[in-house]
Amino acid sequence: MEGTPVHVGMMQDMIRASKHRAVYVKYRLAPKHPFPTALMDAYHALLWMVEHSDFLKIDPKNITLAGDSAGGNLCASVALYARDHKGPHIKKQLLIYPVIDVRQTSDSMKMFDDTPMWNSVLNKAMWEQYLKNGDLGMLKYASPILADLHDMPKTYIE
């Protein structure tokens, strides 16, 4: 999913190592486009992918979603949304340091408010921007850790 050249390169390396086909999804970003815009962009990309699976030469029953950070959030959210709305079957997920918990109540969120790269202060600001229009009754899709996770795809979290 969306990312900087470093993130894109990391995903390309993983795709090459997996020897599978990949579809790279660009989605609209907060704060200009708050929740649920990115979720809907990503979900509609999944629907398009399945609809065009012959053209893409992919098996629509063997889809793995992968993403890091906000992209990891979107992968988990799209899988959850697809499950709840009888959408395409997602076989697996690869979530790399996914942003999945709006509550920010973990010990690390309480302790690390001044770390240099990312910290609880920045995390709080990110969630406020992402949810600036509220959760629209869809909080579990913004913060998938809050959802009932039954029947979710096999998931690897790094």
Tens of each residue's pLDDT in the chain, 158 residues:
456 788 778 878 988 998 889 898 989 999 999 999 999 999 999 999 999 999 999 999 999 999 889 999 999 999 999 999 999 999 999 999 999 999 999 998 888 888 888 889 999 999 999 999 999 999 999 999 999 999 999 999 99
Structure confidence at residue 1 (pLDDT): 42
Domain regions of the chain by residue span: 5-157
Of 79, 78, 55, 65, the residue nearest 11 (C-alpha): 65
CATH number among 3.40.50.800, 3.10.20.30, 3.40.50.1820, 3.40.50.300, domain 5-157: 3.40.50.1820
**Cα Rg of the chain, angstroms:** 16
Which H or E run includes 66?
A: strand 64-68
Q: Which residues contact 98 (CB under 8 A, 6 or more apart)?
A: 67, 68, 69, 71, 72, 73, 75, 76, 157
Of 126, 121, 63, the residue nearest 98 (C-alpha): 126
